[in-house]
């Protein structure tokens, strides 16, 4: 399709947004797009409809079918409401909980969602103000809701917002409800079908009482309260990065017995503009710089952050050279699992039915730990809905210890079913206290576990490709990696290729193909080499990027070798990046 024909089609599509049912501000903005000489904004806003995927919606805010606004949010909610009323028609009352983060327009979108649900006869619990994403999951289970929605774009840049939909178990929706909801959402073809006028009698505001119960349930997860008491003066730097963790996470830390919380005042300001950072993603070192500076200034034991909706965490502690350093997402997972496995063993709590969960792109060191201690480990796809699926299937069959993914998300409890910084951050504080109680720093504890379970180094790389052309380029990149697979990586032959889109595992040497046992297909490709290197490749489901996950392994003979081993691993990963043709 040539550009002229595309612009003609999109102009006709945009003109529908000038009709009845749309507010005057939206009409004026759409009219300006249509009349502008540069049609870039028109194309980007209307070249497709913002898709309601299996996790909900996420996109740049603004007018248009490919943007987050009250109309795309409204259509999603109307479709979801229709499905809830059908799926739970036998219930005398159907209930949902609605939350939101601090982003611009989040309150507007949350109130829009609440109004639409109530207009469809559904009881709504609406949070009084910004709350963590995991608290919405918790509220669904606590209040007996059939569904829930949180308005958030997690750690995306400030231009974005999103819509996360949950089901009655507190987890994001999976089959068959995911495809059914998408079908119902896609049936909403006109703005006139959306019931925007809410019923105030069906909307109940919730807040403090639910917060208090949540914090108390989180405190019950503590495995070492006596250790925490001995180290109540542990120096803890915490920043919410302008997000919803500002009030609830310090309360949660204090409930675990820690009194010395050091704030980053500039980042305590709750703001959807995220004024002190370019991007509010705690995975990025520049985002964590103010916390690192505060830790250096105060000589803190540990520095921690939550992302804007308080589901992901970031961790900083001193390295061997005494410099505060951002810990990568895989190391966070390794530390959590190491503590939970080791501490439960110390307490005599490992009875043989325990299990942990990780995603397929997360470090294999976790499996080594679980195997050595006789604890079952499940591998699942990226996304906490898959971890929650394992938890649901294992109810009554085993005891969940914890689960997480390398993208800085961990869940140590069963009363919520999404990654949770409100519980993970005090748990990480407890781990720091436990290590200190044993005469170790966090870095020394990390080295010790590598000595016991084998050394690994991981690096995640995201290649960003924005807009329509970028999306097409990402598709082409995945196609090329499948059709022209790597024969060797950093000098080591590729011995296994796993393609989760085909659900096939190829033994490169023999040519034997076996079926991968997974609940569904996923656009993920993995290479395994003879020397234990693992490379995973997948497009992001929420951002315009393709992700590469690189993991190398070796033995660590002594603590003195640690820095040299890190240098070796970084150099090897650089070589792997060159072999894959990607820039870090």
Q: List active site positions.
A: 154
Between the CA of residue 549 and those of 315, 488, 540, what are the distances in Å?
Answer: 19, 16, 12
Q: CA-CA-CA-CA torsion for 331, 332, 337, 340, nearest 10 degrees? A: 130
Question: In angstroms, rounded to a whole number, what is the distance separating the alpha carbons of residues 241 and 425?
Answer: 14
Q: Which two tokens stand for residue 430?
A: 């407890």
478, 583 Cβ separation under 8 angstroms: no
525, 536 Cβ separation under 8 angstroms: yes
CA-based angle 514:519:520, to the nearest 5? 80
**CA-based torsion, 583, 306, 323, 340: positive or negative:** negative
**Collapsed DSSP state (helix, strand, coil) of residue 485:** coil
* Closest CA relative to residue 235, chosen from 253, 257, 256, 262: 262
358, 536 Cβ separation under 8 angstroms: no
> If you write DSSP's letter for every residue of 162-206 in order, what string do you get?
EEEEEETTSSBP-TTHHHHHHHHHHT--SGGGS--S--GGGEEEE
Question: In angstroms, rounded to a whole number, what is the distance separating the alpha carbons of residues 299 and 561?
Answer: 26
Backbone angles phi, psi at 559, to 5 degrees: -60, -30
Beta strands per DSSP E along 101-142: 123-127
270, 242 Cβ separation under 8 angstroms: yes
Question: In angstroms, rounded to a whole number, what is the distance separating the alpha carbons of residues 150 and 107?
Answer: 10
276, 289 Cβ separation under 8 angstroms: no
The residues, ordered by sequence, that sit 6+ positions from 132 with a Cβ below 8 Å of its Cβ are 99, 244, 245, 248, 306, 309, 310, 311, 420, 421, 422
CA-based angle 8:10:14, to the nearest 5? 120
**Collapsed DSSP state (helix, strand, coil) of residue 546:** strand
């Amino acid at each position: 399709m040539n550009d002229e024909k595309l612009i003609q089609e999109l102009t006709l599509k945009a003109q529908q947004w000038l009709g009845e049912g749309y507010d005057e501000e939206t009409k004026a903005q759409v009219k300006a797009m249509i009349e502008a000489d540069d049609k870039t904004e028109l194309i980007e806003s209307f070249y497709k409809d913002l898709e309601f995927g299996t996790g909900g919606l996420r996109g740049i805010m603004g007018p248009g079918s490919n943007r987050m606004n009250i109309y795309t949010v409204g259509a999603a909610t109307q479709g979801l409401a229709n499905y809830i009323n059908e799926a739970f028609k036998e219930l005398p009352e159907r209930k949902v909980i609605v939350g939101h983060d601090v982003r611009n327009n989040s309150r507007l979108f949350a109130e829009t969602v609440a109004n639409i649900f109530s207009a469809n006869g559904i009881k709504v619990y609406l949070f009084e103000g910004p709350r963590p994403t995991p608290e919405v999951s918790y509220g669904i289970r606590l209040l007996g809701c059939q569904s829930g929605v949180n308005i958030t774009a997690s750690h995306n840049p400030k231009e974005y917002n999103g819509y996360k939909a949950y089901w009655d178990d507190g987890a994001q929706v999976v089959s068959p409800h995911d495809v059914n909801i998408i079908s119902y959402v896609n049936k909403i073809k006109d703005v006139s079908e959306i019931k925007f006028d809410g019923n105030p009698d069906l909307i109940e505001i919730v807040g403090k009482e639910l917060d208090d119960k949540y914090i108390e349930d989180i405190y019950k997860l503590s495995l070492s309260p006596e250790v925490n008491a001995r180290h109540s003066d542990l120096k803890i730097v915490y920043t919410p990065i302008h997000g919803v963790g500002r009030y609830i996470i310090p309360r949660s830390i204090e409930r675990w017995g820690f009194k010395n919380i050091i704030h980053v005042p500039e980042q305590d300001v709750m703001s959807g503009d995220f004024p002190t950072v370019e991007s509010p993603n705690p995975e990025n070192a520049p985002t964590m710089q103010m916390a690192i500076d505060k830790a250096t200034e105060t000589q803190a034991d540990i520095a921690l952050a939550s992302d804007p909706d308080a589901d992901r965490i970031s961790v900083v502690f001193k390295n061997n050279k005494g410099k505060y350093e951002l810990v990568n997402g895989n190391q966070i997972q390794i530390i959590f699992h190491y503590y939970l496995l080791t501490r439960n063993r110390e307490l005599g709590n490992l009875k043989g039915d325990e299990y942990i969960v990780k995603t397929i792109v997360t470090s294999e060191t976790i499996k080594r730990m679980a195997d050595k201690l006789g604890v079952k480990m499940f591998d699942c796809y990226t996304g906490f809905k898959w971890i929650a699926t394992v938890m649901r299937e294992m109810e009554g069959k085993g005891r969940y210890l914890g689960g997480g993914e390398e993208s800085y998300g961990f869940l140590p409890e069963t009363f919520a079913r999404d990654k949770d910084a409100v519980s993970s951050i005090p748990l990480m504080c407890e781990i720091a206290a436990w290590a200190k109680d044993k005469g170790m720093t966090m870095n020394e504890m990390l080295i010790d576990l590598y000595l016991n379970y084998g050394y690994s180094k991981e690096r995640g790389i995201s290649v960003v490709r924005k807009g329509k052309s970028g999306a097409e380029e990402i598709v082409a990149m995945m196609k090329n990696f499948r059709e022209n697979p790597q024969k060797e990586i950093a000098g080591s032959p590729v011995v296994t290729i796993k393609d989760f889109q085909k659900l096939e595992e190829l033994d490169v040497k023999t040519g034997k193909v076996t079926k991968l046992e997974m609940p569904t297909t996923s656009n993920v490709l993995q290479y395994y080499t003879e020397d234990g290197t693992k490379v995973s490749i997948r497009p992001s489901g929420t951002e315009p990027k393709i992700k590469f996950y690189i993991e190398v392994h070796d033995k660590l003979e002594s603590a003195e070798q640690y820095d040299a081993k890190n240098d070796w691993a970084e150099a090897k990963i650089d070589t792997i990046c060159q072999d894959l043709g990607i820039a870090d």
